[in-house]
Structure 1
Amino acid sequence: MRRLVQHNIPDLVYVNNIAHHISPSILDVFRSLGLPVVMYVNDYKIICPNSLLLNSAGVCKKCKGRRYYNALLHRCKRDSLIPSAVACIEAYAHYHRRIYDSVRAFLAPSQFCKERLAEFGVDREKIFVVPNFISPEDFGSKDTSSEPFCVYFGRLSKEKGLKVLIEAAKVCGHELLIIGDGELKSSLVRYAEELGARNVSFRDGMAFDELMTTVGASLFTVFPSLCYETFGRSILESFAVGKPVVASRIGAVKELVDDGVDGLLCEPGDCEELAEKMSSMFSSKQATEKMGQNGRAKALSRFTPGNQYQHLMHVWERIKP
């Protein structure tokens, strides 16, 4: 990394997802060269050993105040001792090496994310809200006709609330299509079969165009997350193809979905309320389609490449040497 950077010295270093794919140790290289670093925050890894602010009991803030040992005590990483121990040690190592001190700006995708980072000790003056964006040309030609089924698309993991969704779908009685891959895929398929939820079907992850065409043919999408989402990309993409969202009232989701305007919100983990909101969408198709139109208008006006550029230039003006 040092040779690469020294060969062509940049004005700015923008890092994203380094905790899981490269290593935060590259920040030491940039610091030694005096390069300004901007870091996009996709999850809570810099403040939470398991990245989610979530344990087996629900949303969690036990590691606040750098009490990272709680990750080990509660086995927060994969509900397993060894991964949790590794995550705990890693968090303490990053803190004692002051690995993130060289970051001049943390880009939080939502106000909620910014507040959580500040609450856990990240310098508020370094945190800037820079929401995700979509490219309108990626969504302009998608079919927005509505068929009587709803869709969940995304990662199939514990924090996404998919068991509750399957239960709610059975109560609701209408078709639910779950699209995606992940560690829970086989257990979720088995759970739906054991529950007798014959109206629930599964599809593997799709190429983007096929996925958006499928979402565009649905009546609405569902986002039943149990964790503090930093943003909610699936919600934005649903809006972009004119589909409203039934979503959990948690984390940054409340910033994206205006309840009753472009979607419906319910308490996370509440099967009965989720089923009620889903049934409401199916029974009021005209109102549902109107909410979808409102969501599309929001996505194409507020979450554009131009707005993203303005946010980034504002950050650059604040941090440039």
Structure 2
Amino acid sequence: MTSGDPLRILNVSQNYHVRGGMDVAMFRLEEILRAHGQVVVPFAAADSANRPTEYEHYFPPASPTSETRASDLLRTLYSPRARQAIGRILDEERIDLVHLHSYFKRLTPAILPEIARRNIPIVQTLHEYRAVCPISLLYRDGHVCTDCRGGRYAQVVRHRCAGGSLVRSAWNMAEMRLSDMLGHKKVIARYLAISNYQRDMLIAMGMDGTQIETIYHPVAIPDLAPHAHRDGDGYVLFVGRLERYKGIFPLIDVARRLPAARFVFVGSGPDEAEAQQAAAGLANVEWRGAMSGAALTEVRAKALCAVVPSLGPEPFGLTSIEALAHATPVVASAIGGLTETVRDGEDGFHVPPGDTDALCDRIARLIADPGLARRMGLSGRARAAAEFSPQRYYERTMAVYRQVLPDRRKDAA
């Protein structure tokens, strides 16, 4: 391999299919790198839901996290199969750099020493707070929680943060301690935060700020014009996982208070049945299930506004910038990375998390003034194209790669 050959990048994550925003971002990285001539080799757990790839024969078997058998529990803590599989793909595919996303439960931290002993640089995008928080959220009992600061992971057991379960909380603590023991805080050359808020919080929790850089997720700008019928037929849109943390119950309360407005929920999740029960009898609420591709593009483009009512500190809020890319204004909680993706009064509104009065007021304002909604949406679309473009993301990512690659391969980046 010569210095002018394209980079061979191993793109590592739990899934090779879309279950959430992390998976969307992982595929977007793959797409952007390949568009610029780099070679991207995926590595994930084997799964019937995975997208087809010529590299799938490398993928180690692993139970879905929602269906782990008792006999497989230890392999969710440390997977010898994943360790062997990543060693094989690193050697046979002549990998220059590993771009890591997530590994807990399906790949496990067993993969880290295999990469490190080959002296292959690792860059990790931190999509959540899992590097410092055993449940990934930095959120507990209605407030931002930093009790595990400095590796004090026993706090997750004390508070039973994993769904109130002592056993699950203890397991999460064990995962964190094993991950640190196997080198997570030592073998990663650079961490990529997805917002300045997230970076600041990671540093406050004890991580080395000199190793963390902020690179916002990119967003594709669809080639479409705002739909004229938004003026009279647009709806209020929620896109995301249907779970309490995402603020779906305050939004259902708003739908109850604004019966003349349509509310469309797109997504699935652990609190889906409870949410549908809470909205029972509301003729203005629609449940569309999980959507992707052209169908999701159309739903976003026809919305009057999108709402991201998260109760806790979202690291970024990918769904907010995707809505803005479709010229759809966003009403978002004023917390976490959402304060960086949505500008209050310019391309949407900020509201205090869980404040149904404020949510109701801002949504009603956009319904009453479609012209304001249109102007905000167009402003957000222009900003998304300028600041969250795939080209800008590529240039910043390659700059990080150059920092960590050996001299003989820097030219390829």
Tell me the TM-score range normalised by the shorter chain: over 0.9
Give the alignment partner of residue 187 of structure 1, picking from 259, 264, 274.
Answer: 274
Deviations along 1:105-158, one digit per CA (max 9) or x if unpaired, are 00111111111111111111110111111233xx11366331231100111112
Q: Counterpart in 1 of 2:224?
A: 141
Task: Say whether 1:24 aligns with 2:112.
Answer: no
Alpha-carbon distance between aligned partners in 2 of 1:287 and 1:207, rounded to the nearest angstrom: 28
Q: Counterpart in 2 of 1:92?
A: 177
Q: Counterpart in 2 of 1:263?
A: 348
8 Å CA contact 1:143, 1:216 repeated in 2: yes
Partner-residue secondary structure (3-state), 1:19: coil
Task: Say whether 1:237 aligns with 2:322.
Answer: yes
Partner-residue secondary structure (3-state), 2:282: coil
Partner-residue secondary structure (3-state), 1:125: helix
Alpha-carbon distance between aligned partners in 2 of 1:20 and 1:242, rounded to the nearest angstrom: 38
Alpha-carbon distance between aligned partners in 1 of 2:142 and 2:344, rounded to the nearest angstrom: 27
Residue identity over aligned pairs, in percent, reads: 29
Q: Counterpart in 2 of 1:106?
A: 191
What amino acid is aligned across from residue 142 of structure 2 in structure 1?
A
Give the alignment partner of residue 304 of structure 2, picking from 189, 204, 219.
Answer: 219
CA drift at 1:78: 2.3
What amino acid is aligned across from residue 252 of structure 1 in structure 2?
G
| Residue correspondence of structure 1 range 199-218 to structure 2 within 5 A | 199-218=284-303
Give the alignment partner of residue 126 of structure 1, picking from 188, 207, 211.
Answer: 211
Partner-residue secondary structure (3-state), 2:227: coil
Q: Counterpart in 2 of 1:57?
A: 142
CA drift at 1:318: 2.2
CA drift at 1:319: 2.1
What amino acid is aligned across from residue 245 of structure 2 in structure 1?
E
Q: Counterpart in 2 of 1:275?
A: 360
Q: TM-score, normalised by structure 2?
A: 0.74
Deviations along 1:10-50, one digit per CA (max 9) or x if unpaired, are 22111112225422221111111111100111111110000
What amino acid is aligned across from residue 141 of structure 1 in structure 2?
L
Alpha-carbon distance between aligned partners in 1 of 2:255 and 2:91, rounded to the nearest angstrom: 56
8 Å CA contact 1:159, 1:227 repeated in 2: yes
Deviations along 1:283-302, one digit per CA (max 9) or x if unpaired, are 11101110000011111111
Q: Counterpart in 2 of 1:38?
A: 123
Give the alignment partner of residue 175 of structure 1, picking from 262, 265, 283.
Answer: 262
What amino acid is aligned across from residue 33 of structure 1 in structure 2?
R
Deviations along 1:81-113, one digit per CA (max 9) or x if unpaired, are 221111012112223333331000001111111
Alpha-carbon distance between aligned partners in 2 of 1:301 and 1:211, rounded to the nearest angstrom: 23
Alpha-carbon distance between aligned partners in 2 of 1:53 and 1:160, rounded to the nearest angstrom: 14
Q: Counterpart in 2 of 1:157?
A: 243
CA drift at 1:252: 0.3
8 Å CA contact 2:142, 2:311 repeated in 1: no
What amino acid is aligned across from residue 170 of structure 1 in structure 2?
R
Partner-residue secondary structure (3-state), 2:104: helix
Alpha-carbon distance between aligned partners in 1 of 2:202 and 2:312, rounded to the nearest angstrom: 15
Alpha-carbon distance between aligned partners in 1 of 2:223 and 2:370, rounded to the nearest angstrom: 22
8 Å CA contact 1:144, 1:242 repeated in 2: no
Deviations along 1:252-272, one digit per CA (max 9) or x if unpaired, are 000011101000010001111
Partner-residue secondary structure (3-state), 1:259: coil
Task: Say whether 1:2 aligns with 2:58.
Answer: no
Q: TM-score, normalised by structure 1?
A: 0.94
* Number of residue pairs matched by the alignment: 317
8 Å CA contact 2:313, 2:335 repeated in 1: yes
